[in-house]
């Protein structure tokens, strides 16, 4: 019996060490990028490079915001990300409607929503661009934000999660005089925190990394996002690796922070199927 337990402990220790090594190997490029952002370009190009900067400097970040217009890119990205969370709320409302209300054509409409998931986004970009151009919304932040406010994948996830929420609880709230708005914001959303966290981080990543659509819809640099600005940086300063590392670090760090804060709810989202 003891030998069996020892074997299990040894196996768990081996798996833990293996996962730790793989985790370090995975994170090492990010660590190199972060430390390199505080180096000078001459230090990065040394024949024998070092992991840690010998003389740490913030000059790369200062240049991004003072000379390379990253402040404008950041403002646009924050606006797009904030509006994406408005879209997250709309997706939750749609999912709640499909899950808990009966109306004519409900199933057919839901199937149509699901069918849009099979259409690649690149296919719809030209028709959407032509529609926005016909109403004068090209080269505007509204034109960048509007097509992404609702998404079939988000509606589907919310519908599947909210479908398992107890109907008796909602009926009891209605008998007590609660309005549908009160039920949605005070009952449905708190119960749906795990799926909200999962969708929230996906929404944040999508908004923060938005690249192709802003590049297509905007032809003025004042509407570019951080991802587009980083691509411009790579084209204009291809030999300045320190500056590129600073731009990439500024893109990655917020995502790591958001994930570290909401990881508990994200893990719950993969394990919780809703209230029965």
Nearest Cα to Cα of residue 81 among 189, 202, 197, 196: 202
* Cα–Cα nearest to 61, from 222, 209, 233, 247: 247
Q: Average pLDDT, stretch 19-42?
A: 85
139-184 per-position pLDDT tens digit: 888 888 988 888 888 899 899 888 888 888 888 888 888 888 989 9
Q: DSSP states of the chain as a string?
A: -HHHHHHHHHHHHHHHHHHHHHHHHHHHHHHHHHHHTTS-HHHHT-SS--SS-SS---HHHHHHHHTS-HHHHHHHHHHHHHHHHHHHHHHHHHHHHHHH---TTHHHHHHHHHHGGGS-HHHHHHHHHHHHHHTT-TTSHHHHHGGGS--HHHHHHHHHHHTTS-HHHHHHHHHTT--HHHHIIIIIHHHTHHHHHHHHHHHHHHHHT--HHHHHH--SGGG--HHHHHHHHHHHSTT-HHHHHHHHHHHHHHHHHHHHHHHHHHHHHHH-----
- Angstrom distance (rounded) from CA 80 to CA 148: 9
Q: Is the pLDDT of residue 66 over 60?
A: yes
As a whole number, the mean pLDDT across the chain is 84
Check pLDDT > 60 for residue 1.
Answer: no
Cα 4 to Cα 9, 10, 12, 17, 137: the distances in Å are: 9, 10, 12, 20, 68
Looking at the predicted structure, is the pLDDT value of residue 50 above 60? yes
Contact 92, 189 (CB under 8 A): yes
Tens digit of each residue's pLDDT (9 = 90 or more) over 101-115: 888 888 899 999 888
**Rounded distance, CA 256 to CA 177, Å?**
43
pLDDT tens for residues 180-202?
898 999 889 888 888 888 888 88
Q: Is the pLDDT of residue 276 over 60?
A: no
Instruction: Give the integer Cα–Cα distance in Å for 39 and 192.
Output: 44
């Amino acid at each position: 019996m003891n030998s069996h337990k020892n074997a299990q402990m040894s196996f768990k220790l081996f798996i833990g060490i293996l996962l730790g090594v793989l985790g370090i190997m995975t994170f090492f490029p990010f660590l190199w990028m972060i430390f390199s952002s505080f180096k000078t370009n001459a230090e990065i190009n040394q024949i024998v490079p070092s992991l840690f900067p010998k003389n740490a400097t913030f000059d790369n970040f200062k240049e991004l915001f003072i000379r390379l217009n990253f402040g404008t890119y950041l403002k646009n990205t924050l606006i797009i990300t904030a509006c994406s969370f408005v879209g997250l709320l709309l997706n939750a409302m749609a999912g709640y409607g499909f899950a808990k209300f009966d109306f004519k054509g409900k199933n057919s409409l839901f199937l149509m929503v699901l069918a849009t998931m099979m259409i690649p986004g690149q296919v719809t970009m030209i028709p959407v661009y032509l529609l926005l151009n016909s109403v004068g919304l090209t080269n505007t932040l509204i034109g960048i934000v509007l097509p992404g406010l609702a998404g079939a994948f988000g509606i589907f996830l919310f519908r599947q999660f909210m479908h398992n929420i107890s109907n008796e609880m909602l009926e009891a709230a209605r008998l007590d005089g609660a309005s549908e708005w009160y039920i949605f914001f005070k009952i449905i959303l708190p119960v749906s925190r795990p799926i909200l966290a999962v969708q929230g981080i996906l929404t944040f990543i999508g908004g923060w990394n938005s690249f192709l659509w802003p590049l297509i819809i905007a032809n003025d640099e004042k509407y570019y996002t951080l991802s587009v600005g980083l691509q411009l940086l790579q084209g204009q300063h291809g030999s300045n690796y320190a500056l590129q590392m600073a731009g990439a670090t500024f893109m990655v760090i917020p995502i790591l922070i958001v994930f570290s804060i909401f990881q508990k709810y994200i893990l719950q989202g993969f394990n919780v199927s809703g209230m029965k």
